[in-house]
Homo-oligomer: A and B are copies of this chain.
Amino acid sequence: MKPIDPDFRQRVTNSFKRQTIMDLLGAELTRIDAGLVEITLPYRSDLCQQHGFFHAGVTSTIADSAGGYAAYTLFPPGAAVLTVEFKINLLAPAQGEKLVAIGAVVNPGKTLTICDVEVHAVKGGESRLCAKMQQTLIRRDGTEIDR
Protein backbone atom coordinates (compact mmCIF):
# COMPACT_ATOMS: atom_id res chain seq x y z
CA MET A 1 0.00 0.00 0.00
CA LYS A 2 1.25 3.41 -1.02
CA PRO A 3 0.81 6.33 1.35
CA ILE A 4 -0.15 9.67 -0.26
CA ASP A 5 1.66 11.59 2.47
CA PRO A 6 5.38 10.78 2.95
CA ASP A 7 5.17 12.22 6.48
CA PHE A 8 2.53 9.75 7.60
CA ARG A 9 4.63 8.52 10.53
CA GLN A 10 4.88 12.00 11.99
CA ARG A 11 1.16 12.55 11.46
CA VAL A 12 0.29 9.33 13.30
CA THR A 13 2.71 10.09 16.13
CA ASN A 14 1.28 13.57 16.62
CA SER A 15 -2.30 12.38 16.65
CA PHE A 16 -1.52 9.49 19.01
CA LYS A 17 -0.05 11.99 21.50
CA ARG A 18 -3.38 13.80 21.54
CA GLN A 19 -5.19 10.58 22.51
CA THR A 20 -4.97 11.21 26.24
CA ILE A 21 -6.44 7.80 27.09
CA MET A 22 -3.26 6.15 25.70
CA ASP A 23 -1.21 7.92 28.31
CA LEU A 24 -3.65 6.98 31.08
CA LEU A 25 -3.46 3.30 30.09
CA GLY A 26 0.28 3.35 29.42
CA ALA A 27 -0.05 2.34 25.75
CA GLU A 28 2.76 2.96 23.29
CA LEU A 29 3.04 3.20 19.52
CA THR A 30 5.54 0.48 18.64
CA ARG A 31 5.31 0.34 14.83
CA ILE A 32 4.04 2.59 12.05
CA ASP A 33 4.12 1.40 8.45
CA ALA A 34 1.95 2.20 5.47
CA GLY A 35 -1.37 0.51 6.24
CA LEU A 36 -0.09 -1.12 9.45
CA VAL A 37 0.16 0.18 13.02
CA GLU A 38 1.10 -1.62 16.23
CA ILE A 39 0.30 -0.52 19.77
CA THR A 40 1.75 -2.20 22.87
CA LEU A 41 0.23 -2.11 26.33
CA PRO A 42 2.19 -3.40 29.35
CA TYR A 43 0.20 -5.10 32.09
CA ARG A 44 -0.92 -3.05 35.07
CA SER A 45 -3.24 -4.21 37.82
CA ASP A 46 -5.54 -1.23 37.23
CA LEU A 47 -6.49 -2.26 33.68
CA CYS A 48 -8.40 -5.38 34.60
CA GLN A 49 -11.80 -7.04 34.66
CA GLN A 50 -13.09 -9.13 37.57
CA HIS A 51 -10.74 -12.11 37.02
CA GLY A 52 -7.56 -10.05 36.79
CA PHE A 53 -7.23 -10.17 32.99
CA PHE A 54 -7.05 -7.07 30.81
CA HIS A 55 -10.64 -5.79 30.47
CA ALA A 56 -12.22 -6.41 27.03
CA GLY A 57 -12.71 -2.66 26.76
CA VAL A 58 -9.00 -2.03 27.27
CA THR A 59 -8.19 -4.61 24.62
CA SER A 60 -10.72 -2.86 22.36
CA THR A 61 -9.22 0.56 23.06
CA ILE A 62 -5.77 -0.28 21.77
CA ALA A 63 -7.23 -2.39 18.93
CA ASP A 64 -9.46 0.49 17.84
CA SER A 65 -6.54 2.93 17.78
CA ALA A 66 -4.23 0.46 16.00
CA GLY A 67 -6.81 -0.03 13.23
CA GLY A 68 -7.72 3.65 13.08
CA TYR A 69 -4.10 4.72 12.70
CA ALA A 70 -3.44 1.99 10.13
CA ALA A 71 -6.17 3.63 8.03
CA TYR A 72 -4.82 7.09 8.84
CA THR A 73 -1.36 6.28 7.43
CA LEU A 74 -2.97 6.19 3.97
CA PHE A 75 -4.90 9.46 4.32
CA PRO A 76 -3.76 12.80 2.90
CA PRO A 77 -2.62 15.56 5.28
CA GLY A 78 -5.55 17.44 6.74
CA ALA A 79 -7.97 14.50 6.71
CA ALA A 80 -9.37 13.08 9.94
CA VAL A 81 -10.19 9.47 10.80
CA LEU A 82 -13.23 8.38 12.81
CA THR A 83 -14.39 4.91 13.77
CA VAL A 84 -17.77 4.06 12.25
CA GLU A 85 -18.04 0.71 14.01
CA PHE A 86 -16.11 -2.36 14.97
CA LYS A 87 -16.74 -5.94 15.97
CA ILE A 88 -14.36 -7.76 18.25
CA ASN A 89 -14.16 -11.39 19.30
CA LEU A 90 -12.42 -12.15 22.57
CA LEU A 91 -10.78 -15.49 21.88
CA ALA A 92 -8.76 -16.23 24.99
CA PRO A 93 -8.08 -14.63 28.36
CA ALA A 94 -6.10 -11.40 27.81
CA GLN A 95 -3.45 -12.19 30.38
CA GLY A 96 0.29 -11.83 30.52
CA GLU A 97 2.93 -9.14 30.72
CA LYS A 98 1.62 -7.17 27.74
CA LEU A 99 -0.88 -6.89 24.92
CA VAL A 100 0.18 -6.13 21.36
CA ALA A 101 -2.45 -4.85 18.91
CA ILE A 102 -1.66 -4.95 15.20
CA GLY A 103 -4.01 -3.05 12.90
CA ALA A 104 -3.84 -3.67 9.16
CA VAL A 105 -5.80 -2.11 6.31
CA VAL A 106 -7.80 -4.69 4.37
CA ASN A 107 -9.60 -2.36 1.99
CA PRO A 108 -8.71 1.30 1.64
CA GLY A 109 -11.57 3.31 0.16
CA LYS A 110 -12.37 6.85 -0.87
CA THR A 111 -14.77 7.28 2.04
CA LEU A 112 -14.53 4.08 4.09
CA THR A 113 -11.53 1.98 5.06
CA ILE A 114 -11.84 -1.54 6.46
CA CYS A 115 -9.23 -2.88 8.86
CA ASP A 116 -8.43 -6.13 10.53
CA VAL A 117 -6.87 -5.96 13.98
CA GLU A 118 -5.29 -8.79 15.92
CA VAL A 119 -4.44 -8.51 19.60
CA HIS A 120 -1.86 -10.85 21.05
CA ALA A 121 -1.31 -11.51 24.74
CA VAL A 122 2.34 -12.08 25.57
CA LYS A 123 2.81 -14.30 28.63
CA GLY A 124 6.16 -15.67 29.71
CA GLY A 125 7.50 -14.50 26.38
CA GLU A 126 4.93 -16.53 24.40
CA SER A 127 2.43 -14.77 22.21
CA ARG A 128 -1.19 -15.91 21.83
CA LEU A 129 -3.95 -14.41 19.71
CA CYS A 130 -6.49 -13.19 22.28
CA ALA A 131 -8.76 -10.91 20.23
CA LYS A 132 -9.68 -10.20 16.63
CA MET A 133 -11.42 -7.09 15.37
CA GLN A 134 -13.04 -6.16 12.05
CA GLN A 135 -13.42 -2.40 11.84
CA THR A 136 -14.89 0.30 9.59
CA LEU A 137 -13.34 3.78 9.53
CA ILE A 138 -14.48 6.94 7.78
CA ARG A 139 -12.31 9.69 6.37
CA ARG A 140 -13.50 13.20 6.98
CA ASP A 141 -11.93 16.19 5.32
CA GLY A 142 -11.73 19.73 6.64
CA THR A 143 -13.73 20.42 9.73
CA GLU A 144 -16.38 17.70 9.47
CA ILE A 145 -16.15 15.56 12.52
CA ASP A 146 -19.50 13.81 12.37
CA ARG A 147 -20.07 10.50 10.58
Contacts and interface: CB of A to CB of B under 8 A. Distances in A.
B84 A89 contact: yes
Contacts of A48: 18-21
B45 A146 contact: no
Interface string A130-147: 001010101000000111
A24 interface: yes
Interface centre among A21, A57, A107 (most CB of B within 10 A): A57
Copy number in the complex reads 4
A51 interface: yes
A133 B86 CA distance: 10
A136 B21 contact: no
B21 A47 contact: yes
